[in-house]
Amino acid sequence: MTEHEQVEVKIDDDFYIYVDEGLDDIIKNFFHWEIETCNSCIDMNGSIWIEFCDFNDWRKFLKLTLRNNIEVNGANHKRETLWDFFQNKSKVKLVFDEEVIKNPNIEDDVIGTGVLIICVGLTFPKELLNNFKKLFFEVLPLKEN
């Protein structure tokens, strides 16, 4: 995979992350709305990829997206919303596994904790990034620092 230009994003006074240039405004805004992402890519095989490492963060985002759709469209479909975008132009993949920790008895080994981890990967075609951003910032308006 090709390396992408990374930019430093200040989340708060003591928390900085690096993300692919072009996704920085989206990822920063997720954190300001207290929705955490853990990975993202501006061009993963022609798609934008944003990963939520906690299912509850994805669920919160989806609920806000649905609420926006109801406010915009009511009982009639008036125009495209991020909810429609998710339904028609994106893919969502759930990945689940068990949390692991370092094995204190064997170097370079891990053991399961019995804690279920559910990650959600959102992908959509790279050429739809501007459309996504327009709809995204309608659901999660930019917050002032």
pLDDT at 119: 92
For the entire predicted model, the pTM comes to: 0.86
Query: Tens digit of pLDDT for each residue in 59-70?
Result: 999 999 999 999
Write out the two tokens for 82.
């991020």
Q: Is residue 114 part of a domain?
A: yes
Alpha-carbon distances of 25 from 29, 62, 92, 103, 141, rounded to whole Å: 6, 19, 21, 38, 11
- Torsion sign across C-alpha atoms 136, 139, 142, 145: negative
Q: What is the pLDDT of residue 28?
A: 93
Number of domains in the chain: 1
Residue 124's SS3 state is strand
Tell me how far apart the alpha carbons of residues 83 and 69 are, in angstroms, rounded to a whole number.
6
Q: What is the pLDDT of residue 11?
A: 84
77 lies in some domain: yes
What residues in the chain have per-residue pLDDT under 50? 1
Asked if residue 145 belongs to a domain, the reply is no
In a domain, 144, yes or no: no
Secondary structure of residue 53 in the 3-state scheme: coil
pLDDT for the residue numbered 2: 56
Domain holding 89, by residue range, is 6-139
